[in-house]
Amino acid sequence: MEKRTEISTLGEFGLIEHLTKNIELQNASSVVAVGDDAAVIDHFGKQTVITTDLLLEGVHFDLMYTPLKHLGYKSVVVNISDVFAMNAMPTQIILSIGISNRFSLEALDEFYEGVYAACEKYGVDLVGGDTAASQKGFIVSVTAIGEVAPDKYVKRSTAQKGDLLCVSGDLGAAYVGLLFLEREKKIFMESPGVQPDLEGESYVIGRLLKPEARKDIIEFFANSNIVPTAMMDISDGLSSEILHICRQSNLGCVLYEEKIPVADQMKQAAYKFEIDPTACALSGGEDYELLFTVSQSDYDTLVLNEEVSLIGYMTEAELGANIITKGGSKYELLHRGGIISAPIPATTEIFNESEFVHIPEHLKRFIIL
């Protein structure tokens, strides 16, 4: 029988000591870490970036199909992704959890194994946090801290007319992974003896349960002397995030459906649910890729990175935010997104149709690759 240690046998301070006893600091900026009343951080003249996320059982994750180790890993990744989205490097995290007596000490060890794996991969120090009793469910709160040179941080509100609209990686796979896991959960609830059928779907399921933050893209920017004009990470779907940049930068945009990067594994998985892959990419969410704009002068350097896709360009606000479909039709981009929202509609329901738009001559060499 698997060993189960009740958390109550340790007490709060004993639990904190147990969970943090193996911390090894990786950053010189971490002056004082776990074990005192507060952490001390010195970023030696760089500016500090701070972000926080709250993850709630039953809202943001389902423990019926989310391993605790994966949850710990993802809890770190989704936060440091926001730091990367500011063109900054994450250095520390603070982690607080609320737990009920459903969870044993061994279960928390599994969760923290994932936390430490993410910290090690991304070079981040866990420097503090808190634990509390929860009436029901598992509550995870992570604050991520990063550093950036004063003139290098990037906001959502600073895109410029004519800038190229770009995205890293591929989109939509996390949503399709959720569809598979929810389907198998439903089958299990109705027939507990039936084994899950997830053969061949490891890519889309992995994109949901173990996402990665795009540190490599930020390093590419630094090594290539590129500073994006605006940037954010994609947690609520491509269309939603593009509209955030448009609204906050007071601009419009043209997005090309054929340029949206989707993996072949996602396409085939989406077809099994009779869903358009483009709809998954636009409205699915939880991809944690980077959406950014850059000056046209950075084009020749940008295309050297195979992990970056050029998907459109920014326009005057009066022209609105539009998508050009593979068939050449123009639609207004609507604000629909989020992996925990209602089922994704057919692609045509995501846009409002309007007249066709032509590509400006000075942008043709960027868009028609």
Per-residue pLDDT tens listing for the chain (369 residues): 677 777 677 666 566 676 666 777 777 776 655 554 445 667 778 889 899 899 999 989 999 999 999 999 999 999 999 999 999 999 999 999 999 988 999 999 999 999 999 999 999 999 988 889 898 889 999 999 999 998 899 999 999 999 999 999 999 999 999 999 999 889 888 888 777 777 789 999 999 999 999 999 999 999 999 999 999 999 999 999 999 999 999 999 999 999 999 999 999 999 999 999 999 999 988 999 999 999 999 999 999 999 999 999 999 999 999 999 999 999 999 866 544 333 444 444 444 444 334 455 555 555 443
| pLDDT computed for residue 265 by the predictor | 96
Closest CA to 344 of 273, 296, 291: 273
| Strand arrangement, sheet containing 47-56 | 47-56, 139-148, 89-99, 125-133
| pLDDT computed for residue 369 by the predictor | 39
- Residue 6: exposed, middle, or buried by beta-carbon count in 10 A (0-12, 13-18, 19+)? exposed
| Strand arrangement, sheet containing 290-294 | 230-233, 290-294, 164-168, 308-316, 251-256, 321-324, 330-333, 351-354
Please state which CATH number belongs to domain 164-367: 3.90.650.10
| pLDDT computed for residue 194 by the predictor | 74
Per-residue tokens: 170: 């591929």
The three-state DSSP-derived secondary structure of 171-234 is CCHHHHHHHHHHHHHHHHHHCCCCCCCCCCCHHHHHHHHCCCCCHHHHHHHHHHCCCCCEEEEC
The strand pair at 164-168 and 89-99 is best described as: unpaired
In Å, what is the CA distance from 5 to each residue of 116, 140, 254, 302?
Answer: 21, 21, 57, 52
Residue count (the chain)? 369
CATH number of the domain at 7-148, out of 3.40.50.1360, 3.30.2310.20, 2.30.30.90, 3.30.1330.10?
3.30.1330.10
User: What would the pLDDT profile of 184-208 be if each residue is shown by its tens digit?
Assistant: 889 888 888 777 777 789 999 999 9
| pLDDT computed for residue 34 by the predictor | 57
Q: Which residues lie closer than 8 Å to 162 by C-beta, 6 or more apart?
A: 296, 313, 314, 362, 363
User: What are the extents of the domains in the chain?
Assistant: 7-148, 164-367
Can you tell me whether residue 59 is helix, strand or coil? coil
Per-residue tokens: 269: 């998985």
For the chain, how big is the Rg over CA atoms in Å? 22
| pLDDT computed for residue 45 by the predictor | 82
- Please report which helix (H) or strand (E) contains residue 107, including its range: helix 105-122
